[in-house]
């Protein structure tokens, strides 16, 4: 897909043709595994249509619903009650009259959950990541950003300043060296260090305490994205920030509700009332977006209730048991994966052609899984991001591992067979 990122030509619409031709070739060959739609919501097993209309059913390891709260009856009832009481639309920006009494209460609850003081809500997690950077960083400032940070952080950085300096993934030493170099030539500029608490492609985490200490040493600000671990990891559900004893100590925490809290939406948490108010009026994706709807607020609040209750601990234990079981079964079948135990089990495939043929085989075997390929990951490092839910059964976990093995074997055989055929015989 990277080949079509910078199309040529004066006609902006005609530029799209090259990408579509490439995409449609893959679509017709059955190796385009994107843009699918569920028939009944992101359940642990569900029916899905591809963008040609073909229907598949199977164990669902494609959806981001880590604690299986999107189908929780209490969460659904809370959303319905909010619609009955407050309607379906907030009808305004948070800077105007888009807030509700329930969204103000959710702000308080989220700050308390993270051991901090103030929260700003955003319409999506992507908007929160983009907005916290664009809202605070100016053209003369610098952003030190983990090389594998999410698109919302990368795009926010590029929109805020030309002074964007990537550091090696999870390398405190490289971050220190580049931070020292910046400070040596500019003692007055603002500097933001941006990273994630759990990286969704590699399931690994940085040393948050070391990065925060580094930020304080050099007069910088640390911002940590907790989208993928908040609510579903750690004894209390506070993710790696809690597990690293950093609750309330990180300068800025941002995250998304779409992975664990069963809703669209995002947030930024801070200990400064001035930062909260500044972001509300100077972060464009907050100021100029509609506030979360009453049903979204109710969904997130109810999900947070469950996460903080004993039921949340039970769900986190089920999730981790499923994660460990899947990793163990993949290992027994000779399949590798990346990172540490989390709801993300990224199964290594490597070669893009092999991965695309594997993806083509998975639906007919009964597994729905997301292919991740270059440029989302390095060339030759394609993988399947299996997203585990607390609601997955033991049979669904076994199905996922067995299907991955069978599809990989089938794809390998096809590639071996392709060596004896003309190159055009098989489009991958």
pLDDT-based confidence at residue 422 (cuts at 50, 70, 90) = low
pLDDT tens-digit readout, 281-293: 999 999 999 999 9
State how far the alpha carbon of 210 is from the alpha carbons of 50, 171, 178, 201, in Å: 44, 10, 15, 22
pLDDT-based confidence at residue 426 (cuts at 50, 70, 90) = very low
pLDDT tens-digit readout, 189-199: 999 999 999 99
The CATH architecture to which 36-65+311-418 belongs is: Alpha-Beta Complex (3.90)
How far apart are alpha carbons 418 and 404 in whole angstroms? 21
24 and 4 in contact (C-beta within 8 Å)?
A: no
What value does the mean pLDDT of the chain take? Answer: 95
pLDDT score of 421:
64
Return the domain boundaries, the chain.
Answer: 36-65+311-418, 73-308
Q: What are phi and psi of 186, to 5 degrees?
A: -150, 100
Within a 13 Å sphere around the CA of 182, how many CA atoms are in the beta-carbon half? 26
The contacts of residue 53 (CB under 8 Å, 6+ apart) are none
Quick check: 67 pLDDT over 60?
yes
DSSP 8-state symbol, 2 = G
| CATH of region 73-308 | 3.40.640.10
Torsion angle of the four alpha carbons 55, 60, 65, 71, in this order, in degrees rounded to the nearest 10: 70
Say if 36-65+311-418 and 73-308 have the same CATH topology: no
Q: What is the mean pLDDT of residues 31-39?
A: 88
pLDDT score of 425:
43
pLDDT score of 370:
94
Instruction: For CA atoms 321, 324, 329, 332, give the dihedral sign.
Output: negative
Instruction: For CA atoms 20, 350, 154, 10, give the dihedral sign.
Output: negative
Cis amide leading into 375 (omega within 30): yes
101 and 228 in contact (C-beta within 8 Å)?
A: no
State how far the alpha carbon of 399 is from the alpha carbons of 77, 252, 363, in Å: 32, 40, 12
DSSP 8-state symbol, 290 = P
The contacts of residue 188 (CB under 8 Å, 6+ apart) are none
How far apart are alpha carbons 150 and 199 in whole angstroms? 8
How far apart are alpha carbons 202 and 196 in whole angstroms? 11
pTM of the model: 0.93
Helices (H), 265-393: 273-282, 284-287, 294-308, 310-332, 352-365
């Amino acid at each position: 897909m990277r080949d079509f990122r910078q199309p040529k030509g004066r006609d902006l619409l005609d530029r799209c043709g090259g990408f579509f031709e490439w995409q449609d070739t893959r679509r017709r060959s059955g190796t385009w595994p994107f843009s699918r739609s569920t028939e009944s919501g992101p359940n642990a097993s569900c029916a899905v249509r591809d963008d040609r209309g073909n229907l598949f059913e199977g164990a669902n390891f494609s959806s981001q619903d880590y604690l299986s709260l999107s189908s929780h009856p209490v969460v659904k009832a809370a959303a319905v009650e909010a619609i009955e009481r407050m309607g379906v639309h907030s009808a305004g920006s948070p800077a105007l009259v888009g807030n509700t009494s329930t969204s103000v209460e959710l702000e308080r609850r989220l700050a308390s959950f993270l051991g901090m003081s103030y929260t700003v809500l955003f319409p999506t997690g992507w908007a929160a990541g983009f907005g916290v950077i664009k809202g605070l960083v100016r053209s003369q400032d610098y952003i030190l950003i983990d090389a594998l940070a999410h698109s919302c952080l990368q795009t926010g950085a590029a929109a805020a300043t030309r002074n964007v300096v990537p550091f090696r993934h999870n390398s405190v030493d490289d971050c220190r060296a580049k931070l020292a170099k910046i400070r040596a030539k500019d003692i007055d500029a603002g500097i933001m260090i941006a990273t994630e608490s759990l990286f969704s492609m590699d399931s690994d985490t940085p040393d948050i305490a070391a990065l925060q200490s580094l930020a304080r040493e050099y007069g910088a600000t640390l911002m940590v994205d907790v989208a993928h671990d908040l609510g579903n990891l750690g004894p209390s559900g506070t993710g790696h920030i809690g597990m690293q004893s950093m609750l309330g100590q990180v300068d800025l925490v941002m995250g998304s509700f779409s992975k664990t809290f069963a809703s669209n939406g995002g947030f930024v948490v801070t200990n400064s009332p001035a930062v909260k108010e500044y972001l509300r009026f100077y972060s464009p994706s907050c100021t100029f977006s509609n506030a979360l709807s009453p049903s979204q607020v109710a969904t997130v609040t109810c999900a947070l209730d469950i996460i903080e209750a004993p039921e949340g601990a039970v769900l986190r234990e089920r999730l981790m048991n499923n994660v460990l079981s899947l990793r163990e079964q993949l290992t027994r079948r000779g399949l590798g994966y990346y990172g540490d135990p989390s709801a993300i089990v990224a199964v290594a495939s490597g070669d893009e052609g092999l991965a695309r043929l594997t993806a083509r085989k998975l639906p007919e075997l009964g597994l729905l899984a997301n292919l991740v390929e270059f440029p989302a990951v390095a060339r030759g490092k394609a993988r399947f991001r299996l997203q585990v839910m607390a609601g997955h059964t033991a049979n669904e976990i076994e199905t996922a591992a067995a299907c991955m093995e069978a599809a990989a074997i089938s794809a390998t055989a096809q590639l071996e067979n392709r060596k004896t055929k003309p190159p055009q015989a098989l489009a991958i």
